[in-house]
Structure 1
Amino acid sequence: MSDGAATVAAAGPVRVMTARVGALLHVGELVIGAPLLVLSADRSVNRGLLYATIAGYAVWIAVHAPVVWRRGLIAPMVIGDIAVTVGLCLINGQISPLSRVDEGSGWVATIASMTIIGIAMAWPARAAVPAGVLVIVAFQAGFFVAGLAGKGLNHTAIMVIQVISAVAVLRVLRRVDAAASAAIAAEHRSRQATEVQAARRVDETAQLRVLHDTALTTLTLVGIGALPARSPSLTERAAADLMVIEHLAAAYREHSEERWVRLDQRVEALAADPPLDLTVSHDLVPCHVPKRVAESLVSSAAEALRNVARHAGVMEAQLILTTDGGRVRVDVIDMGKGFDPAAAPVHRFGIRESIVGRMASVGGAADVDSTVGVGTRWRLHWPAERVAG
């Protein structure tokens, strides 16, 4: 998606922060933990396997850290982290001096703990708990493989507590994050409504000033006898006032005619001349919307189409325009490689402003449904008081 997306729009600051902290911790475990593991190695350690393991882990971190930093804890990175950690746990006895490690702690134990916490950050409890248990079982199995059954139980118990506490804490944080995002969105909508009302009041006041300075003043002068009923100046003044009123009426009619436009025609024009040589099919119902709403809907749809061309890996898309109960919706659909909306960087301008922000500016909204390997569907909503067919 645009700017290497997603925020979609949808990822909250808590998810972004936790993912990046996890990426930095993984890098620190390689830079600091791996040298300490080498220094602590004794005759029980298979040094060839140790060095190969550290090299392999370095390659994984070189892939994992940049992806998680940009896109968050997406499913492939979490699954890969679980697989790498399980592998390290099973060979723990060959790369670590387990007989000298107190209660099973050490380099692999630290990595296992970080993986458990990362799983809780990325997935809900129904997936995080089984995945965390898998890592814990693999950790304890490493001691059995090394012929040290009964050791490491204390650290295994600590990891069980980590699974439970991490899932509980992240569940609360997600709720807080969602509530904060909803409150910000509500405040933005309220501010937009206030600004619209203020602009309307300014316009009404300006029109009242014009009427006061023309027709109302003339009527007042006639009422107090300052202008005789058959005075030539009254005729001239009344004619001038009438012209001003007609100009106001014409301006209002012109504004009203421009305000409501055929949205289906504008979406059809976008499909006929899409950005970046896309092939765009369409399914549209006739409807009218305010001009500024039409511009925002079409511009947001165009940005979503640009995202398809740049990031989806396909050059075909579909536009669907529907109306329901006084609401308008434009869907932009592609069958490309998709992405993880929860991992989209919230600061990316393309999603935050060109789609979500643009729709919010006219009292609408935008949301996205995307699955890696399946495709993406943007839904652009506008709640209208009426939708004329």
Structure 2
Amino acid sequence: MLAIHLAWTALFVRVWWRKDMLPSWLVAGDVVVTAGLCLAQRHLVAQEALDTGSSWVAGLVTMTIVIAGVTWKPAVVLPMGLAVAGAFAAGVRLASPSHDVVGTLGIHLVQLLAIVILMTLLRRSAAATDAFLERSVRAEISRIVERLRREDELKQVGSIHETALHTLTMVGLGTYDEPSPTLSAQVRTDLAALEKLRDTPRADSAPIALDTLLDEVAGRATDLEVRRDLMPETVPGNVAERFARAVTEALANIALHSGVREAELVSRRRDGEILVEVADTGRGFDQGQLPPDRFGVRGSILDMMRSLPNGGAEISSSSQGTRVSLWWRP
């Protein structure tokens, strides 16, 4: 039994060393191993330790309850915790039938309720924090998009104004003493350009330089060195914003979870699509092991890009690294 427990501890050390999330199968195995040790207490714990309730198995029960509470939701933790506490009480009775287990059982139940309440509060706080950060990122990207849109508009207005003013200056200076076909053609061109500017929508469909926006987003990832290879491309503002939000989330995930401090951001054309890729050489992750409350990967990358007409996203990950692919077809 001790050899099994030592091997299980080695698995926990390996997960801690790699800084991975605790997989459910490891925590479930820990519950089973702890329950087995509890039932075998008559072979593992001295009588004096049973009498004082200070055996190493009692401490192990506490740690198992805490680990289960951190990993699972209350609906799973409560029955698992009760099972471990019950196994401990049964093991004590098997070792010493006359021993009173009510006090120790009560302590384990208090520990179970405490970790459930604590983790419920922490999860709610984390969800509120994630939502606040998501809103902050959206607002920041919207400000960047709006600023770039205004810069593009000012460039267009400046160019048109320079042309129109040049035409008016020539008329005012008397360059043309009589009607001129060249002047008439230039006036019609200027007027058409001004009308087009007037009718240009100012909504999210206004064009944005995607490479400029992504370059600015990558520059804000202060915890990473982002190598960039961005092809000049102009897309509607709402499309640019989706790309920017997805890239922001992908870079944040690299900084937090990959274990590396370098990333690559590339944009190019692929079979008529605009393709943006974010890659790293970190430890990778298993998408099937992501908890339901991890909104970033699903909500801020996959679902957001897939909800865009003609858009999509895909994430490939292994122990050699992770690649996030985002695309949109004009």
TM-score by length of 1: 0.50
State, as a whole percentage, how many aligned pairs show the same letter. Answer: 30
Other structure's SS at 2:38 match: helix
Q: Are 1:56 and 2:1 an aligned pair? A: no
Q: Give distance in 1, aligned partners of 2:51 and 2:178.
A: 110
Aligned to 1:199: 148
Higher relative contact order (CA 8 A, sep 6+): 1
Q: Give distance in 1, aligned partners of 2:19 and 2:292.
A: 8
Q: Give distance in 2, aligned partners of 1:136 and 1:216.
A: 86
Shift in Å at residue 153 of structure 1?
Answer: 3.5
Shift in Å at residue 190 of structure 1?
Answer: 1.4
State the one-letter code of the partner of 1:129.
L
Structure 1 contact 103–152 (Cα < 8 Å) conserved: no
State the one-letter code of the partner of 2:93.
F
State the one-letter code of the partner of 1:133.
L
Q: Give distance in 2, aligned partners of 1:215 and 1:156.
A: 87
Shift in Å at residue 156 of structure 1?
Answer: 2.1
Aligned to 1:340: 289
Aligned to 1:171: 120
Shift in Å at residue 345 of structure 1?
Answer: 10
Other structure's SS at 1:227 match: coil
Match runs of 1:218-233 below 5 Å: 218-219=167-168, 222=171, 225-230=172-177
TM-score by length of 2: 0.58
Pick from 147, 152, 165: which aligns with 1:216? 165
Aligned to 2:131: 182
Shift in Å at residue 173 of structure 1?
Answer: 0.4
Aligned to 1:155: 104
Shift in Å at residue 226 of structure 1?
Answer: 2.4
Aligned to 2:85: 136
Q: Give distance in 2, aligned partners of 1:166 and 1:150.
A: 27
Structure 2: 5+ residue runs without aligned partners?
A: 209-234, 251-285, 316-323
Shift in Å at residue 191 of structure 1?
Answer: 1.3
Match runs of 1:1-389 below 5 Å: 53-67=1-15, 70-101=19-50, 103-219=52-168, 222=171, 225-230=172-177, 293=239, 339-342=288-291, 355=301, 359=305
Shift in Å at residue 217 of structure 1?
Answer: 3.9
Q: Give distance in 2, aligned partners of 1:342 and 1:116.
A: 19
Q: Give the RMSD, CA atoms, in angstroms.
A: 4.8
Shift in Å at residue 292 of structure 1?
Answer: 9.4
Other structure's SS at 2:177 match: coil
Can you list the C-alpha shifts for 1:12-31, whole angstroms capped at 9, x where unaligned? xxxxxxxxxxxxxxxxxxxx
Q: Give distance in 2, aligned partners of 1:341 and 1:381.
A: 23
Q: Give distance in 1, aligned partners of 2:3 and 2:191.
A: 82
Shift in Å at residue 95 of structure 1?
Answer: 1.2
Aligned to 1:319: none
Q: Give distance in 2, aligned partners of 1:136 and 1:381.
A: 52
List structure 1 segments (4+ residues) > 6 angstroms apart after TM superposition.
Answer: 234-249, 343-347, 364-368
